[in-house]
Amino acid sequence: MGTSASEIFDLRNFYFYKSGNIFTGSLKNFNYKIIPKDDELTVLVWHGLLCSDLADIEIEKKYPLTEEGFSEMIKWLEDEYRKEM
């Protein structure tokens, strides 16, 4: 597998999302889903064992679908995870 875009999470590079691909991941009890649509990246965060369709989404954030927005999203996602440590 290639190099992750994140220091904490195994994220794909910006062009994966720019191409319209959705990505779901987790680390311990922290779950996230990144959804590119139109010109935005939507990030969902929840805890537990359920998939995003069945879980209560705790946080939903939107970022521009740009390299800068992608970098901001990664920083925010990492900061949210670090709050739990």
d(CA 84, CA 27): 11
Q: What are 29's two structure tokens?
A: 């009890």
Count of domains in the chain?
A: 1
The answer to whether residue 1 sits within a structural domain is no
Domain span at 40: 14-82
6 occurs within a structural domain: no
21-70 confidence digits (pLDDT tens): 999 999 999 999 999 999 999 999 999 999 999 999 999 999 999 999 99
Asked, for residue 20, whether it belongs to a domain, the answer is yes
Write the DSSP string, 28-42: TTEEEEEEEETTEEE
Task: Give a yes or no: residue 18 inside a domain.
Answer: yes
The most distant pair of C-alpha atoms in the chain lies apart, rounded to whole Å, by 34
Check residue 75 and give its pLDDT.
Answer: 97
- Residue bearing the bigger pLDDT, 84 or 48: 48
**Alpha helices (H) along the chain:** 14-18, 67-82
Write down the pTM of the prediction.
0.92
CA-to-CA distance for 64 and 7, rounded, in angstroms? 21
31 inside domain: yes
Averaged pLDDT for residues 66-81: 97
What is the reported pLDDT for 1? Answer: 44
